[in-house]
Amino acid sequence: MTAHYDIRFGDWTVLDKDAKTIRFEVFVEEQKVPAELEMDHMDALCLHAVAYDAAGTPVGTGRLLPDGHIGRMAVRKSARGTGVGGALLRALMAQAKARGDRQVELSSQSHAAPFYQRHGFTIEGDEFFEAGIAHINMRHKFA
């Protein structure tokens, strides 16, 4: 089931309300990440993306850091499996490529690694734990 999503880009002052809502719901409430670890000083420096469904409800988010890392990818439970995560990831990758980045990197929760591999990412290094959750570093080099 693939739906159409309106993906909007902006800085933290533009998208913070919707991005915070999604991130708090997914990371803090669902995955029990401490709130003080979820929000960080990097938000002010990132390009943020928020996906909205046909009703205008924010359902997914992610951010692109100045160094080419993609982070804080989160999709609300109600929208999982609809293609919004892939649409967000492709949109953030396109933004990175357009600004001249040669590659993008991310720290995936280990269970989500196959999702990123389907989008051309390769695993680098060993599994590690962040906020009590298993992660793996991944990289995608642009052709």
- CA angle, residues 32, 110, 95, in degrees to nearest 5: 95
pLDDT of residue 36: 86
Band of pLDDT at residue 143, cut at 50, 70 and 90: confident
Amino acid at 127: E
CATH superfamily, with its number, for domain 6-101? Gcn5-related N-acetyltransferase (GNAT) (3.40.630.30)
pLDDT of residue 12: 96
67-119 confidence digits (pLDDT tens): 999 999 999 999 999 999 999 999 999 999 999 999 999 999 999 999 999 99
pLDDT of residue 49: 98
Percent of all residues in the chain with a pLDDT value above 90, rounded to a whole number:
91
* pLDDT above 80 (res 3): no
b/e map of 65-92 (b: 16 or more CB within 10 Å)? beebbbbbbbbbeebeebbbbbbbbebb
4-60 confidence digits (pLDDT tens): 899 999 999 999 999 999 999 999 999 999 988 898 999 999 999 999 999 999 999
